[in-house]
């Protein structure tokens, strides 16, 4: 009796499974007629039918990017079609399952009444899919839920705060600043097209690009399009998807100035790169200005096609170097002044010493201090700074290297840097060397053998001896103790 019941249940569930499959095949057919062959093969065909749980059917896609896209484009339609096909299914859930793709596609093809689709030609659609897969592997951002989000606006508005006037100029960025100014005054002049700005994170590349755009636009009658390379890719794919490639190309080719930020994003996205290459050529040939930013110089952007790298390096290439202490102070002074909240010079110096990598973080720290002071109604002081920025400063604790220690100690005692690793044993050389070893032990996490290697391949026992000898001497000789402490202070910034 029990056996018969379970056989019935199994039969019923296999019935449900096969009727679901039939419904799904019919839905696929309908969608194919609605969206056309290319769209169908690019998106719908990659869906795999999953289980039914109560009134919810699960459909799988092999990549998150595809899932987001299908959800944005076809989510509603899939739901409606399912409801029409089956009384049981009320909801459609789209999930990612990397393994789920091929088998059921093959099954669907085999049982489909339509002629089997031929494998993709290595045409642009396929290539674009590779870009999507590359994006899916590396990105944490999700695709806009609707293609319309990216289709409607060609470019991103410029940030009105990023003007030339608000950009603080110092040695590390003066060349890039001058080039940007020149392009803003005389776009597309020989030798400056394209303008390629590169440098580390948060050093002002975007700021300069916006400044150029704002200045050009203030003169009226010049069309400027600014977008990140990521946005360029989304728009490109969206245009393929909505069959509006021509419109996309025409829009881009009609601008006077095209600015693409963070070009390194196109590494590994070969068809987007190709599209960008054609846009680039068309614009430069038509005498329009291109401005590009990236984290590396064109020659170092390995992963970009050679022909693109060569063309990118053909105009003016300007590097924004890491900030100096002086520039950081000037930036902080300017930003503090603009805020209207008094910030003591000691605090500015402290911040400029502690946050050395990137202007965005420096600015963030200052803003936090000012906001805190406003909120509690007390002035900014060194103490409040240390307290408010505790977590941030901890992350910026300087990592001292052995090379730096050797350099500073050699400078301080006026000996040659090479003597740090030489075999000379004269006291005038040997003592500073021992001090450097001592500081290396105190200020870095290097082991004794590692330190020994850095000092002319000396044995770890030599380093050990140096460390205890310097500790001893510091107790006996206040002059030497003071020198060592001064060096430590300088190295720790
Ligand atoms: N020289 C400067 N003077 C004034 N503000 C600056 C300067 N350099 C950078 N900034 C500010 O620092 C912040 C980060 O700059 P920006 O976004 O231009 O950096 P980026 O080089 O484009 O960084 P990413 O590599 O992250 O794209 C911005 O708020 C910008 O205004």
Q: Which residues contact 437 (CB under 8 A, 6 or more apart)?
A: 451, 455, 462, 463, 466, 467, 470
> How do strand 56-61 and strand 48-53 relate by DSSP bridges?
antiparallel
Question: What are all long-range contacts of 481-489, with beta carbons under 8 Å and residues at least 24 apart?
Answer: 483/412, 483/435, 484/435, 484/438, 484/439, 486/412, 487/408, 487/409, 487/412, 487/435, 487/439, 488/439, 488/442, 488/443
Closest atom, ligand 1, to C-alpha of 262: 27
**Residues 23-75: tens digit of each pLDDT:** 899 999 999 888 777 677 777 888 999 988 888 999 998 877 778 778 888 89
Superfamily of domain 2-115: DnaA, N-terminal domain (3.30.300.180)
Contact 196, 229 (CB under 8 A): no
Buried b (16+ CB within 10 A) or exposed e, 395-419: ebeeebebebbbebbbebbebeeeb
Assign 225 to helix, strand or coil: strand
Assign 112 to helix, strand or coil: coil
Ligand 1 center–CA 206 separation, angstroms: 6
Ligand 1 center–CA 152 separation, angstroms: 28
In sign, the C-alpha dihedral spanning 135, 141, 145, 147 is negative
Q: Which of 151, 133, 177, 12 is nearest to 73 (CA)?
A: 151
Q: Is 197 in the pocket of ligand 1 (CB under 6 A)?
A: no
The pLDDT, as a whole number, for residue 121 is: 32
Q: How would CATH label the architecture of 402-492?
A: Orthogonal Bundle (1.10)
Q: Is 275 in the pocket of ligand 1 (CB under 6 A)?
A: no
- Measured CA to CA, the distance from residue 151 to residue 164 in angstroms comes to 31
Assign 56 to helix, strand or coil: strand
Identify which of 203, 301, 324, 351 to mutate to test ligand 1's pocket (most ligand atoms within 8 A of the CB).
203
Q: Is 203 in the pocket of ligand 1 (CB under 6 A)?
A: yes
Closest atom, ligand 1, to C-alpha of 359: 12
CATH number of 171-320: 3.40.50.300
Q: Which of 369, 200, 339 is nearest to 331 (CA)?
A: 339
Ligand 1 center–CA 175 separation, angstroms: 15
Q: Is 323 in the pocket of ligand 1 (CB under 6 A)?
A: no
- Measured CA to CA, the distance from residue 298 to residue 306 in angstroms comes to 9
- Measured CA to CA, the distance from residue 160 to residue 463 in angstroms comes to 57
Q: Is 206 in the pocket of ligand 1 (CB under 6 A)?
A: yes
Q: Tell me which residues of the chain have a pLDDT lower than 70.
A: 1-15, 38, 100-129, 132-155, 395-398, 493
Q: Is 201 in the pocket of ligand 1 (CB under 6 A)?
A: yes
Give the N- to C-terminal CA distance of the chain in Å, as an integer: 84
Contact 283, 290 (CB under 8 A): yes
Q: Is 205 in the pocket of ligand 1 (CB under 6 A)?
A: yes
CA 473 from chain centre, in angstroms, equals 50
Q: Which residues contact 206 (CB under 8 A, 6 or more apart)?
A: 162, 261, 293
Shortest-distance Cα residue to atom 9 of ligand 1: 204
Paired tokens of 250: 């025409």
The phi, psi pair for 261, rounded to 5°, reads -95, 145
> Please, what is the Cα angle at 111 between 110 and 112, to 5 degrees?
95
**Residues 334-388: tens digit of each pLDDT:** 999 999 999 999 999 999 988 887 899 999 999 999 999 999 999 999 999 999 9
The pLDDT, as a whole number, for residue 484 is: 92
The pLDDT, as a whole number, for residue 242 is: 75
- Measured CA to CA, the distance from residue 180 to residue 184 in angstroms comes to 6
Paired tokens of 323: 């900030």
pTM over 0.90: no
Assign 335 to helix, strand or coil: helix
| Concatenated DSSP letters of 369-414 | HHHHHHHHT----HHHHHHHTHHHHHHT-----HHHHHHHHHHHTT
- Measured CA to CA, the distance from residue 158 to residue 161 in angstroms comes to 9
- Measured CA to CA, the distance from residue 468 to residue 491 in angstroms comes to 21
- Measured CA to CA, the distance from residue 315 to residue 77 in angstroms comes to 49
Tell me if the domain spanning 325-395 has CATH number 1.10.8.60. Answer: yes
The pLDDT, as a whole number, for residue 413 is: 94
Ligand 1 center–CA 112 separation, angstroms: 56
Q: Output DSSP code: residue 304.
A: B
The pLDDT, as a whole number, for residue 35 is: 77
The pLDDT, as a whole number, for residue 138 is: 53
The pLDDT, as a whole number, for residue 396 is: 66
Identify which of 198, 206, 318, 352 to mutate to test ligand 1's pocket (most ligand atoms within 8 A of the CB).
206
Sheet holding 289-294, edge to edge: 224-228, 257-261, 289-294, 195-199, 316-320
Question: What are all long-range contacts of 461-467, with beta carbons under 8 Å and residues at least 24 apart?
Answer: 462/437, 463/437, 466/433, 466/434, 466/437, 466/438, 467/437, 467/438, 467/441
Q: Is 364 in the pocket of ligand 1 (CB under 6 A)?
A: no
User: 75 among the known binding-site residues?
Assistant: no
Domain positions in the chain are 2-115, 171-320, 325-395, 402-492
Angle between helix 174-185 and 205-218 (nearest 10)? 20
């Amino acid at each position: 009796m029990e056996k018969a019941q379970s056989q019935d249940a199994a039969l019923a569930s296999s019935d449900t499974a096969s009727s679901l499959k039939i419904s799904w095949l019919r839905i696929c057919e309908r969608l194919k007629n609605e969206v056309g062959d290319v769209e169908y093969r690019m998106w719908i065909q990659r869906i795999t039918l999953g289980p039914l749980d109560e009134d919810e059917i699960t459909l799988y896609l092999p990549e998150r990017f595809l899932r987001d896209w299908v959800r944005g484009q076809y989510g509603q339609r899939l739901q409606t079609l399912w409801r029409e096909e089956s009384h049981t299914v009320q909801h459609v859930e789209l999930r990612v399952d990397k393994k789920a793709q091929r088998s059921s596609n093959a099954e669907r093809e085999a049982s489909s009444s339509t002629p089997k689709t031929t494998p993709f030609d290595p045409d642009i659609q396929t290539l674009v899919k590779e870009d999507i897969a590359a994006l899916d592997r590396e990105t944490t951002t999700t695709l806009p839920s609707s293609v319309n989000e990216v289709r409607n606006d060609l470019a991103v508005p410029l940030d009105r705060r990023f003007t030339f006037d608000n950009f603080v100029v110092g040695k590390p960025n003066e060349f890039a600043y001058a080039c940007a100014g020149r392009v803003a005054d005389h776009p597309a002049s020989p030798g400056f097209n394209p303008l390629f700005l590169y440098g580390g994170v948060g050093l002002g590349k975007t700021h300069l690009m916006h400044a150029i755009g704002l200045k050009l636009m203030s003169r009226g009658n010049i069309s400027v399009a600014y977008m990140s390379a990521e946005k360029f890719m989304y728009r490109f794919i969206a245009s393929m998807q909505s069959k509006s490639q021509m419109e996309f190309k025409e829009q881009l080719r009609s601008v006077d100035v095209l600015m693409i930020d963070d070009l390194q994003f196109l590494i590994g996205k070969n068809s987007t790169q190709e599209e960008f290459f054609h846009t680039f050529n068309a614009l430069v040939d038509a005498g329009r200005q291109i401005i590009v930013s990236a984290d590396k110089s064109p020659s170092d952007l390995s992963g970009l096609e050679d022909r693109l790298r060569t063309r990118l390096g053909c105009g003016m290439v300007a590097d924004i170097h890491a900030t100096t202490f002086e520039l950081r102070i000037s930036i902080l002074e300017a930003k503090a002044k603009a805020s209207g909240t008094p910030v003591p010079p000691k605090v500015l110096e402290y911040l400029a010493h502690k946050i050395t990598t990137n202007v965005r973080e420096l600015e963030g720290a200052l803003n936090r201090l000012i906001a805190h002071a406003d909120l509690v109604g007390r002035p900014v002081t060194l103490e409040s700074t240390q307290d408010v920025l505790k977590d941030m400063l901890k992350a910026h604790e300087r990592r001292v290297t052995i090379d730096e220690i050797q350099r500073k100690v050699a400078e301080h005692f006026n000996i040659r840097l090479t003597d740090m690793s030489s075999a000379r044993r004269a006291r005038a050389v040997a003592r500073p060397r021992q001090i450097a070893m001592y500081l290396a032990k105190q200020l870095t996490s290097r082991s004794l053998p590692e330190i020994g290697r850095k000092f002319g391949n000396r044995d770890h026992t030599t380093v050990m001896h140096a460390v205890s000898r310097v500790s001893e001497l510091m107790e006996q000789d206040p002059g030497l103790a003071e020198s060592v402490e001064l060096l430590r202070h300088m190295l720790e910034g």
